[in-house]
Every structure is written in structure tokens, then in C-alpha cells.
Amino acid sequence: MDVNVQQEVLTAGGLYVIGTERHESRRIDNQLRGRCGRQGDPGASKFYLCLDDALLRIFAGGRVKSLMTRIGVEKGTALESSLLTRCIENAQRKVEAHNFDIRKQLLQYDDVANDQRQVIYQQRTELMSQHDLTQHIEHMREDVINDLIAEYIPENSFEDQWNIKALESCLLNEFSTTVCLTAVEGDNLGATREEIVQKIQIAVQKVLAEKSVSLAPSALCAFQKTLMLQVIDTHWKEHLAAMDYLRQGIHLRSYAQKDPKQEYKREAFVLFSRMLMHIKRQVIVLLLNVTVSVPPALDDAENKAMLDDMTTTYTSNRNSPCPCGSGRKFKQCHGKLSN
């Protein structure tokens, strides 16, 4: 600031702050007051309030109006009283306490989502660090098939309660696995639930092995990682949207004399457990239904003949699609190898 301008401000009495209302937070009012006396400069501040302001109307408007009526204060008269100042400060404290409780509850809700986020991130980190996912896929396959069988053949149930045909149809249509359980069901000796579970597990494991036999171990691991990461990310984003939707209406549980925070934790745990199961099931279903084709390998003579032919044919137009069928340009495929 120019020295002359600063001297004029000091001569005039410094900065004068005029407030047209009081903020809900006392900190904001104190900051405004502090602007008029920074570094020892002179200044003053004054706040004007109306009984119709939100802060006074909600917390002290009725009492102040009744007091003014009893005293007989005329309309438009300014009131300056330490009692009124303390009343306003008490109202600000109540608002600050209310806002603090809101932030505290939001933090508790965020802690629930953060705990689930740590679990998902840990799973993704472990998935990326592994070089062989065979064992991991086997555990997922066992959990998915056990849960599937529990839907149609509940534990500790009688054979009359089993739905064998629906289980066969689900295995065929969703898991691309053909398992004949009707004969087992009609066997006079009777088949236990454990025997049916073992038979289905072996059949699904065989289909998975047939799907992965055409790929090299490194290519198979890369494919499985990519597939699992995509499934995890998709379900995690959908879960976060469901959590936000749950939080918007969880406060209504208080009308039923229930703690909203505890209800939110319980509902969030159910949603998270369901999401983890859906991730496992979709991964196994995709692995059972996907078909991976590997182009046939050429011997040295065929490869050399193809390279010579492409070198003479595509040298003038290296941006043409490579005739090997890879979908890349010639200069980025066999044209690159021939240089």
C-alpha cells in the first residue's frame, strides 16, 4: 500500500467493519473483527441485527419480541444490551454444536465405507502381485459352487426339498457345465448331498481346465487378472452408488426407534458381503463361458515366405492392415519385424 494512502487510512481512524448479520459460527465473526485491527492498526467493528434474522428468529426471536413488548420499546429502536449479546452467542454455540454433530456422523459413515475400501484395495494389490492365479481361482470356484448348491439343495434338508432339475438347468445355462444328477437322484441307494457337491465341483473344474489349456501360463494369468480387475471395479462403483443411496434415507430409521448409524453399518455389511459374492460368481461364470482363440503358429518356411511377400507388396503402403489378421497396421506388425 502507498505510504500516503496508508497515512490517510490511519488518520481517518483505520478500517471500519460493518456487519449486517451474525454468522452461525463465532469464528467467522471474530475473523471479521480481526480485519479491522491487524498488526496493531486502529479500527472498529459493529454488527447490526434484525429480529427476523434466522439466528435470532429460531433461537431467541420470540423471547426478545415479548421482552420489547413488555418494556414498550418503539419500532426501529436500536437495542444494545449485554443480555442480548449473550443470547446471540448462546444461539451460535447451539448451531456450532449441531453442525459438529452432523460432521461427526458423516465421519462415522465415511469410516464404514473406508473400511470396505481398504478391503477392496487390498484384494486388488494382492491380485496384481500374484504371478499364478490358479489357486485363487480354485478357491473362488469352490465358494461359488457351494453357494449355488445351497440355493437348490439346502443343508440339513430332506431329498423331497431338493430341486435337482433347476440345479442342472442353472449349471447348463449359466455355468456352461453339463452335469447329470437326475440318475443320482433316482438311485435306490440314494446320493448324499456331499456326493452331489463333489460331482459338480469336479465337473466345473474340468470345464475350467479345458478353457485354459489353449493359453500359455503367462497369457492365462494376464487374462485372468484383467478379467478380475474389470469385474471388481465395476461392482465396486455400483456398490458406492448403493451406499450413497442408503445414506440418504437411513435417518428415517430413527422414527422406528432405531439407531441410524447402527442400521447403516448393518445394511452396509450386508451390501458388501453380497457384492463380494457377486464378484466371485461373475468371475467364474465369465471364465466358464469365455472362448479364447489363439492364431495358429507358422513354421519357419511359411513365416519367411509370408514376410517376403509382405515386404514386396506392402512396402509402398505401410499403413495398410497386416495380412496376418492381427488387426494392426503392417508397419506395426510384420512390417516391423522385417526391417
C-alpha cell at 290: 469365455
C-alpha cell at 177: 457345465
Q: How large is the C-alpha radius of gyration of the chain?
A: 37
pLDDT tens column, 115-130: 999 999 999 999 888 8
Tell me the whole-structure pTM to 2 decimals: 0.61
SS3 assignment, position 44: strand
Q: What is the largest CA-CA distance in the chain?
A: 112
Q: Is the Cα torsion angle 70, 71, 74, 80 positive or negative in sign? A: negative
Alpha carbon of residue 274 to chain centroid: 14
First to last CA, the chain: 69
Structure confidence at residue 337 (pLDDT) = 44
Instruction: List the chain residues with pLDDT less than 50.
Output: 184-189, 298, 312-316, 337-339
Question: Cβ distance 140 to 201 under 8 Å?
Answer: no
Structure confidence at residue 336 (pLDDT) = 63
User: Where are the alpha helices (H) located in 250-299, listed in sequence order?
Assistant: 260-289
Question: Cβ distance 221 to 212 under 8 Å?
Answer: no
Structure confidence at residue 1 (pLDDT) = 55
